[in-house]
Amino acid sequence: QSVLIQPPSASGTPGQKVTISCSGSGSNVGKNPVTWYQQHPGAAPRPLIFNFNQRPSGVPERFSGSKSDTSASLAISDLQSEDGAHYFCAAWDDRLSGYVFGGGTQVTVL
């Protein structure tokens, strides 16, 4: 059972908007920035969103993040076929002195 809770799956058609939630607690999401990762099969995770809503260079503007209290969300606008992947949220947990991850959400582009 993962510390951060994500829905196991989400889907949309090309051009639609998909939103993924990540629910935590006061010692992790409520206190520290959330990072969102994208992982394609056989590849390492890559950061998509960090420090609340910053994108590393090369990540399209279609990806955006938000946070409210102990929950965070990742939005994918204008869904593209290459967005089909697993998405994980993560945050440092001050009580555990370590990173905690969500269980991951499989995004399917219909």
Partner 1 sequence: DVHLEESGGTSKQPGGSLRLSCEASGFTFSSFSMNWVRQAPGKGLEWVAYINKNGETTYYADSLEGRFIISRDNAKNSLYLQINRLRANDTAVYYCTRDLLLPTGRLCDSWGQGTLVTVSS
Kindly list the residues in this chain that would bind partner 1 in the complex (CB under 8 A): 2, 32-33, 35, 37, 43-47, 50-52, 56, 88, 90-92, 96-104
| Cβ-based nearer residue to partner 1, 75 or 101 | 101
Q: Assign residue 81 a region: left if phi > 0, alpha if psi is -120 to 50, beta otherwise? A: alpha
| Cβ-based nearer residue to partner 1, 76 or 87 | 87
Could you count the other beta carbons within 10 Å of the beta carbon of residue 13?
Answer: 9
Nearest approach, Cβ of residue 62 and partner 1 (Å): 20
Distance CA 77, CA 96 (A): 34
Nearest approach, Cβ of residue 84 and partner 1 (Å): 17
The Cα diameter of the chain in Å comes to 41
Token readout for 15 is: 């051009």
| Cβ-based nearer residue to partner 1, 18 or 102 | 102
| Cβ-based nearer residue to partner 1, 47 or 84 | 47
